[in-house]
Chains A and B, each alone.
Chain A
């Protein structure tokens, strides 16, 4: 079994900045939205470098649109590369999503059709990202309210094929997984079991709310609510399977509760992952005895 030193942190948001900096004894890392700094003034970029000197930072992209049959924009990648050079994050990540098409900006992360073409497109875009930025991004599964039209395989198959093809790392968003599982009636634990466990390197936690009318309700991943209990159960399942050190980030974009409430959720995540690690160790011991 590999040595594990899991890390836990919060997404960096202006409204949480003071609280994060006041609680560095309980927050190991922070995740910064990279796109906020692509065209930021020098003073803001300098402030980000100062932050990175105080706490390990990971950069999170939201607009590259890597999972697409369309090549990722070189200029956006160059902005990401410049930011990585300046901030030297311990990792960077982007979503397995498409965000624009035919000149139309969707304004959100859209799940692409799960096909061989979008796998090939994602692999080409990941190779391009690695070449220009110099480091491969962790790729993240997205939540979707619509069953992606034109798909010919399920999400676990599609994601696994990209991970194996790119030999890249996976940022597993457990609330996105939970929402998709409820909305499209599949077993999230089966999804976790089918993902190559050695590729999982980071976790996102968040909350959401139900929208729609009876007969047509879906769980929306809105980052405005607390992490629901079943998501901690999924984190335990990940801990029982993935032996690499994990970086666990709690994402909250608004309706901010007290920092104590957010730290409590981080503590619950620590406990869930620790329980999973115990199960993982027990499994190795049983194998040794056998």
Chain B
């Protein structure tokens, strides 16, 4: 598992609020529509929703800042 398509899907739901909203209302449907493998679809259905929400908010706050670590 883990294809470029899967990483692209994650990047999209991390930063795109509309895509994330669609995903949260129908995770399986959005994942299938994105062409993810069955394993990847299962993985995003079990996604850490608390973490996704906090990460998305954190990214929104630093939208114009350079990543650091």
Contacts and interface: CB of A to CB of B under 8 A. Distances in A.
Q: Please say whether chains A and B are actual partners in one complex.
A: yes
Interface of A: 33, 35-36, 62-63, 68-70, 95, 97-110, 112-113, 115-118, 121, 140, 142-147, 149-150, 152, 173, 176, 183, 204, 211-212, 216, 218, 220-221, 223, 251, 253
Interface string B18-43: 00000000000000000000011001
Nearest to A221: B69
Given A106-B11, A107-B15, A33 B66 contact: yes
Please give me the 6 A-B residue pairs with the lowest Cβ-Cβ distance, nearest first.
Answer: A102-B8, A146-B51, A101-B11, A117-B2, A150-B43, A101-B8
B34 to A, nearest CB: 9
Contacts of B11: 98, 100-102, 104-106, 110
A142 B67 CA distance: 11
A117 B1 contact: yes
Contacts of A115: 1-2
Interface of B: 1-12, 14-16, 39-40, 43-44, 46-48, 50-55, 57-59, 62-63, 65-69
Contacts of B62: 107-108
B54 A218 contact: yes
Q: Which of B2, B5, B51, B65 has the most CB of A within 10 A?
A: B2
A183 B51 CA distance: 9
A216 B54 contact: yes
B47 A149 contact: yes
A113 B2 contact: yes
Nearest to A218: B54
Contacts of A143: 69
B52 to A, nearest CB: 5
Contacts of B59: 106-108
A144 B55 CA distance: 8
A101 B15 CA distance: 11
A101 B51 contact: no
Given A115-B1, A173-B69, A176-B69, A144 B10 contact: no
A251 B40 CA distance: 35
A220 B4 contact: no
A103 B8 CA distance: 8
B51 to A, nearest CB: 3
Given A102-B8, A113-B6, A147 B51 contact: yes
A144 B51 contact: yes
Given A115-B1, A146-B51, A220 B58 contact: yes
Given A106-B59, A146-B51, A150-B1, A113 B43 contact: yes
Given A104-B11, A145-B58, A212-B50, A150 B66 contact: no
A140 B63 contact: no
Which of B4, B7, B9, B44 has the most A CB atoms < 10 Å from its CB?
A: B7
A80 B36 CA distance: 33
Contacts of B68: 33, 62, 223, 251, 253
Contact of B2 (A100, A107, A118): A118
